[in-house]
Structure 1
C-alpha cells in the first residue's frame, strides 16, 4: 500500500490530474489514485472530471485564477476629498473626518488615511526646553530680588527659602501624550514639544 501525503498544496493535486490526463487516464481512475495518496477529502470525482475537461481544452496553469472580490469603494475622487479635509485641519481625528463623511465607515476612512495617503499616528517627542528672553529676564529679576532681600535680612532671609534643582519652569501646562497625538505623513518629521522637568 502506498504511503499517504498529509500536507500538500492544492496545486500539487491539480498537477497530478494534469499529468494523468496527459497519460490519457480515465477521470475515475485519476480520482482513485488521488484518494489513495492524498486522502478521500483531497478532490471529489466531479472536481476531477472538471479539471480533466479543462486540461483537455488546453488549460496549462494548475493554480487558481485570481477572483474578483468585492469592488473597492475607494476612488481617486474620495481620496482627494479626504486629503483636502486633512490639510484644512492638520490635527484631525478619525472622528472629525467621520463627521465630515457620514456616508463612509470609519474603517474605510482609516484605510484611506493610512494606506492611500500615507499618514501614521505619532506622538510628539519631548525635547529640552529653550528659555525665551522673557523667561531669562524674569529669572534675572528674581535673582536680583533675592540678593536685595539677603542684603537687608542676611542669614534670617536664608531660612525662608525653599530650594530645588536649577530648572526654570514657566507657568504652562503641557499636553499629555494622548493630547499631542496627531496624524503625519511617513516622511514628515516627528512633532516636538518642550520638555518640562
Structure 2
C-alpha cells in the first residue's frame, strides 16, 4: 500500500533529526548502543518517510498494538500531571503557552520520567502475561 508523504511526517522526521543530534551530543553511549522508540499508529509514525528515516539510522521501534492506550506511557503518565498544571490558566498568546510548557518540562525531576518508563514496563509485562 502506498502512503503519501504528509507534512506531518516531514515535520516528524525533522523532530527525529533534532532528537538524533541531541542524543549524539548528550548521550553518546546510548547513541552507539542504538535507540529504541515507542510509536503508536499515528500517521506521522507509520508514514513511508518516517519508516525510511528509521531504517536509515537503524532505530528500533517497539511494536504497539492498535487501540492500546494503556501501553502509551505519555497517555497515562505525562498528560494527567500536565493537564492539572495547566488547568484554569488562560494564555494570551501561543508563545505564552509554549513558555509555560518549557518551564514545566524544565522543572520536572528526572524521577518523573523514570517512574513513567518503569510503569510502562509493568504494563507491557501484564500484556505479555495475558497473551
Higher Cα radius of gyration: 1
Structure showing the higher helix proportion among its residues? 2
TM-score band, normalised by shorter chain: under 0.3
